[in-house]
Structure 1
């Protein structure tokens, strides 16, 4: 483990299932799929491992679960799609169910704050500012987890702003949820055109004549990358989802072959100050960023996590003596130090780091060292 953590004490859990972080609630959930279109949430206090609450959820098909944070509040979401009312004579109708739970509750049979039943076979995802439900190629729906309110959008009718995408023939996709509606994208390989209808568009970010930008959600923030005409470097930035304005930015060496899938380890610290993605790190309080890409002088570092105190975890360039060496980075100074550890926490908040031990199928929590 990184030396940041005191491994002499802590707690562990062998509950089987998927671990879901709840950073603003000092809790972590475990979701276990059942055998008959059901599943179970068990929520544990992150500082003690004590069980806070649990519940069983059922749906019309195989259950899946995720945790979402919107406006500083955590929610657990269970969803499933399948046929309702099917019997020996009828195929029934396809529905998607969504059950939304506040992260903090008590008891052994907690009821959802909101239960939704939507027509159609939908895919439910965390869109940053809410839930994003893809119903088919041209229709999506957003869901506010606080109220359960839904809004449907026909993507076929939502074209890019005039003048920004003269030769766009690709289909429009919804890639995130913002406070002003869905963030839409088209022609996104690797840079494309993004816009929130009636609010803002990516064309205002760059001087590139084709207005092409790369944008990806990280929790409830947006990370963007573009290359201005005549510039020596790429620009990386964190955007305000409501306005598209730059909150923090940094120039990095170009041609890093960035793709939408290059986001393993992308993390926003629990206090919302630090964000890391790929080889970039941002301090949103100061509006600054740092690059850890490969240059003529420096080896690359891929960042995999960050704490509230601005300590980032990462993987350095392999050497003949060591494959994928671990490092820690002080984001205040940019100093990279070799780390004598293997495991990186999948969550870090409330003074504890959460780890998964593959060898024992155990979740382990260790406090920060004093």
Structure 2
């Protein structure tokens, strides 16, 4: 072989090697070049923004993301926080990061939602067995002039939180749906008796006709204002004007707490594994005219887990104080209510006459909860309404915080999550690490 031929051969081999490396790099972390370089978000470790937060958080340790969706979701088992980033004018991308370290995790393929592009798609998380999933969804018409119900649908992208595996599920739906993930399935409903459930593991869609909801016998109230409320391992959780039941399973009248009217149960909120319900005390009880009983029930069995009495009618189930769980599932909060499921205790944070209620926004595995007194809603408390407080659920004693303190909207594996909009109207998600007591 001549010297010239050797040079040509070496050059060709080098060129092939470079081409292969370029192809490998292009295929890593996404579906191609268009997904590998999303326009946003900007991530910083530090973090840059120093908010006034409760002393239990270290603002020098954590991370920060800007230009992301106002919603986020947490998968505690994987330690990941998921959020949506805008890739371009019409596409979005689900991305994840490690809650403790701020390091980037996996991200999904970019996609175009059915909803108008000026709004972020919805984001939630769901757990089935020992697997956790992130779910994004949007609702819209298939065509510009579509009129028939079959021309509109709900589009969901389901991601395995551990691997990032992505599955598209499309469900024909006539009107704007309600979508929730309070059990081992994704519940779609019209806010009444029409529903469908998506299995996050397989994408299978199952529907139950309103006439097949398993109405309990001798329950006229069950057939009034019927609403599918949640998904359990044994069937749908359904409620009527009063009383509630699991289709083919337990019935609230049969698990009514001691000292309450058995036909008075009204569910207010559902979380993974539990349902919070309001019960009237038995007629003739000393405080029946002034107080109700709020009870956390097991979603699978209906059995009582914890309870607390609160003044009425300060809390209306129609307002649905939303159940929020600590990452490890031990503590639950809902508006002014808080529960320690291990100790089977409950708290109702209000004055004796029902005034100055405490609206809780988050709770950590340590049992430290944060909120604000006299705030109208959780959103109001997070926006600075009311007077901020912290309460250790081991003692149940609220402690006032400085008026300019910003409250965490959630907790993820020892990291407090704070939402903030800067002066340029950019949404930021900021994480501060919890301080460890000596």
Q: 1:355 to 1:72 in 2, by over 3 A?
A: farther
Aligned length: 355
Measure the CA separation in 2 of the matches of 1:250 and 1:89: 50
Matched with 2:204 is 149
Q: Does 1:365 find its partner at 2:431?
A: yes
Q: Does 1:195 find its partner at 2:245?
A: yes
Q: 1:73 to 1:141 in 2, by over 3 A?
A: same
Matched with 1:176 is 230
Deviation at 1:72, TM superposition (A): 5.2
SS of the residue corresponding to residue 270 of structure 2 reads strand
Q: Which of 328, 339, 356 is equivalent to 2:401? A: 339
Matched with 2:317 is 259
Deviation at 1:247, TM superposition (A): 1.2
Deviation at 1:333, TM superposition (A): 1.0
Superposed, which structure 2 residues align to 1:307-346 within 5 Å?
307-317=364-374, 324-340=386-402, 342-346=405-409
Q: Does 1:132 find its partner at 2:187?
A: yes
Larger RCO of the pair (alpha carbons < 8 Å, separation 6+):
1
Contact 2:269/2:320 (CA < 8 Å) preserved in 1?
no
Q: CA RMSD, aligned part only?
A: 3.0
Matched with 1:225 is 278
Deviation at 1:138, TM superposition (A): 4.5
Deviation at 1:116, TM superposition (A): 1.9
Q: 1:282 to 1:80 in 2, by over 3 A?
A: same
Q: 1:317 to 1:81 in 2, by over 3 A?
A: closer
Normalising by structure 1, we get a TM-score of 0.85
Gaps of 5+ in 1: none
Larger Rg: 2
Normalising by structure 2, we get a TM-score of 0.72
Matched with 1:16 is 68
Matched with 2:170 is 117
Deviation at 1:221, TM superposition (A): 2.3
Q: 1:37 to 1:172 in 2, by over 3 A?
A: farther
Q: Does 1:99 find its partner at 2:157?
A: yes
SS of the residue corresponding to residue 203 of structure 1 reads helix
Choose between structure 1 and 2: higher strand proportion. Answer: 1
Gaps of 5+ in 2: 1-52, 376-383
Q: Which of 258, 268, 289 is equivalent to 1:215? A: 268
Measure the CA separation in 1 of the matches of 2:373 and 2:193: 41
Matched with 1:245 is 303
Deviation at 1:100, TM superposition (A): 0.6
Matched with 2:123 is 66
